[in-house]
Amino acid sequence: MYKEYRGCAARRAAGLNQLPFDPATNNGPLQFTNTTGPLVSESAVENGGESSKKRKRTNIPATDGVRNLNVDSTPMGLPMSDLTAWATAMNNLGMAPMGMSGQPLLPDFDPALGMMTGIPPINPMMPGLGIVPPPIPPDMPAVKEIIHCKSCTLFPPNPNLPPPATRERPPGCKTVFVGGLPENGTEQIIVEVFEQCGEIIAIRKSKKNFCHIRFAEEFMVDKALYLSGYRIRLGSSTDKKDTGRLHVDFAQARDDLYEWECKQRMLAREERHRRRMEEERFCPPSPPPVVHYSDHECSIVAEKLKDDSKFLEAVQTLVTWIERGEVNRRSANNFYSMIQSANSHVRRLMNEKAAHEKEMEEAKEKFKLALSGILVQFEQIVAVYHSASKQKAWDHFTKAQRKNISVWCKQAEEIRNIHNDELMGIRREEEMEMSDDEIEDPSETKETEESALMSQAEALKEENDSLRWQLDAYRNEVELLKQEQGKVNRDEDTTREQQLKLLQQALQGMQQHLLKLQEEYKKREAELEKVKEDKIQMEMLLETLKEQQEMADEEDKERDVVDNQGNESSTYRICASSQEKECPLERTLSCSPVKSEREALLVGIISTFLHVHPFGASIEYICSYLQRLDAKICPSEVEVLMSRLQHTFKQELSGVGASLEKRWKFCGFDGLKMT
């Protein structure tokens, strides 16, 4: 029966090869190849014609790299007139398609392609050829072969169909689902088919033509999936119950998952062990253990304590012995001597600290001196720029030179200010360190304010002088332009006029700026005078306080001599005299409508302004005039001040209806007569 089936299979198929490996012993991926390495493509071509004759099996002698192949094939039924078939056969053999007379069969042959353009591939084990084909390129798809078993035959699927779909592979999958089994298929047939893929541990077959197979290793599942899509036929029967189409897919099993998790845990343990070993390899070695106390060791440690280089090691040993409880009556004197030698190092450490602090202070002083020297040089450079910007030298420079000098001056001033701030910060830190707990004297604050105001006044003077020099330079340029104006052509008159206008505008702006600076200068001088007056008042107050203190001391002395009645009468007189001194001051302060010097100045300015306007002026008009002098003045403050002085200013209503307006007038002359 088996021989008849082999003959029938030989008549039906174009060629037949056995598996080139033993699936039960091979652990590599499932491939159907010959010993030379290339994949052997085999397609099942069922030929219904029974007219073909049976040929004997040809034996090819084994050569280097080629093993014996037993092929049952039918006579090649390709006539010489079929040029395409001949070209295909010769091309598969690696030869150029040539005719009997030497001419090329097809003009579009390309030997680099390995296959003819437009011709479908033909099985290299063609009937009648009986030789091993050359290596097939790796990019060509492998065509599955017919697989013969003892009780069944597996026919490959159509290579043009897409590969069968599979589910996502579960972790550690060793079990496959096999569907499409024949109804008459038994467990022995399943074992016979799938034992080629590897060792089978268990099979669970169902009555509905499917089963589950569990393999020993995971790679065996991939070999089993290779059989998906094959058509199975039991023996030579064509009954429907003896045929089926296999569908192999991944299956999820608890045992597989459990084994996979155990394997992952084992790998994690190995990884943790490897990391621990790696960390231990890079960790520094542990310190040597401390020796136990003995008289000999105690003498060694005492000698080490006296040595500065071995002091740290000896101190650690001493601390460990004390913590262990080695101190007792017998060893107390030894420990006391060691503690005393340890205490002797305190003076050495303090001396080292003082030396380091001294070095740090010296470095600070050197830095401060170097910074002050740099600052002095910057001041000299800035002085050079300022002297160059004066009128005597400034007029002789060109515009480009003036621009460069001004830019350099600004840069030098910025760098100087930065260095000055840094130096002042260092000095400030030193002052804060020296006097953290001291309270600043009010007289010193006054002096610092005076020095700040003086520096600001000097800066304003310098700016005023520089602006005057620039104004003189602009005037000189305007005069030069006026002198050259007569010599220039008429076409340039318009441009000259524009330049003159621009220069006039610049002059006006400079004059306005100069006026503002003069006003600020006057304000600063007034503030400086005010500060001086305050200082004088403070000095007078201090003198009065000192006199009062002296008077109080004298009174204390008199109290010792005079009786209690005299004391009471003297105190009564002193209180009466103090009340009489304070009363006129309080009366004058409470009675006068003008409360400060600033309000008195405002009253004088407003009176002068309203005297010029005999018909009166509104409060907004008065405030607009006053805000030119001081921008902080508000209308409400002025109105309250004028309303308090009823004998100096009076308010009148003028106009009718919508044009009704309140006007203030000066009535000081009439009020003087009334008072």
Neighbouring CB atoms inside 10 A of 420's CB total: 15
Distance CA 360, CA 627 (A): 57
Residue 65: pLDDT band with limits 50, 70, 90? very low
More confident: 112 or 530: 530
DSSP class per residue in 602-659: HHHHHHHHHHH-TT-B-HHHHHHHHHHH-TT--HHHHHHHHHH-TTTEEEEEESSGGG
Q: Which two tokens stand for residue 413?
A: 């001033």
Q: How far apart are CA 458 and CA 453, in angstroms?
A: 9
Residue 355 above 70 pLDDT?
A: yes
Are 197 and 114 in contact by the 8 Å Cβ rule? The answer is no
SS3 content of the chain, % helix, strand, coil (to 5): 55, 10, 35
Report pLDDT digits (tens) over 284-310.
877 778 888 899 999 999 999 888 888
Q: Mean pLDDT across the stretch 350-357?
A: 91
Cα torsion 109, 113, 115, 118: sign:
negative
Residue 423 structure tokens: 């130096």
Q: Which of 49-58, 250-259, 434-443, 572-581 has the lowest mean pLDDT?
A: 49-58
The pLDDT assigned to 197 comes to 92
Q: Which band of pLDDT confidence, cut at 50, 70 and 90, is reported for residue 257? A: very high
Per-residue confidence at 442, pLDDT binned at 50, 70, 90?
low
What is the arithmetic mean of pLDDT over 175-199? 92
Please say whether the dihedral angle defined by the alpha carbons of residues 615, 616, 621 and 626, taken in this order, is positive or negative.
positive
Number of other CB atoms surrounding residue 355 within 10 Å: 10
Q: How far apart are CA 228 and CA 238, in angstroms?
A: 21
DSSP for 184-205? Answer: T--HHHHHHHHTTSS-EEEEEE
Rounded to the nearest integer, the mean pLDDT of the chain is: 75
pLDDT of residue 481 exceeding 50: yes
Residue range 503-529, pLDDT digits in tens = 888 888 888 889 989 888 988 888 898
At 107 the pLDDT is 56
Going by pLDDT thresholds of 50, 70 and 90, the confidence category of residue 255 is very high
Supply the angle between the helices 295-306 and 332-343 in degrees, to the nearest 10: 10
Tell how many helices (H) and how many strands (E) occur in the chain.
18, 12
Evaluate if residue 638 carries a pLDDT over 90.
no
Q: Does 492 score more than 80 pLDDT?
A: no
Q: Is the pLDDT of residue 127 over 50?
A: no
61/395: higher pLDDT: 395
- Report the percent of the chain where pLDDT is more than 70: 70
pLDDT digits over 4-34, tens only? 333 433 333 333 334 444 444 444 443 333 3
Q: Which sign, positive or negative, has the C-alpha torsion 637, 643, 645, 651?
A: positive
pLDDT of 477 over the 80 cut:
no
> What is the number of other CB atoms lying within 10 angstroms of the CB of residue 137?
10
Angle at CA of residue 53, ends 94 and 55, nearest 5° = 60
**Binning pLDDT at 50, 70 and 90, where does residue 38 land?**
very low
The confidence score (pLDDT) of residue 16 equals 33
Distances (CA, A) of 332 to 194, 336, 339: 87, 6, 10
pLDDT value, residue 169: 93
| Sheet (strand 147-148) strand order | 147-148, 152-155, 231-234, 243-245
Q: Using CA atoms, how far apart are residues 665 and 609, in angstroms rounded to an integer?
A: 10
Q: Where are the beta strands (DSSP E) in 388-466?
A: none
> Residue 339 pLDDT > 60, yes or no?
yes
Residue of higher predicted confidence among 384 and 485? 384
Q: Residue 214: pLDDT band by 50, 70, 90 thresholds?
A: very high
Cα–Cα distance list, 444 to 343, 450, 451, 530 (Å): 48, 10, 10, 17
Measured distance CA(242)–CA(186) in Å, rounded: 11
> Does the structure show a pLDDT above 80 at 624?
yes
Q: How does strand 200-205 pair with strand 210-215?
A: antiparallel
Confidence of residue 194 (pLDDT cuts 50, 70, 90): very high
Question: Residue 90 pLDDT > 70, yes or no?
Answer: no
Rounded to 5 degrees, φ, ψ at 53 are -90, 160
Task: Output 246 or 45, whichever has higher pLDDT.
Answer: 246
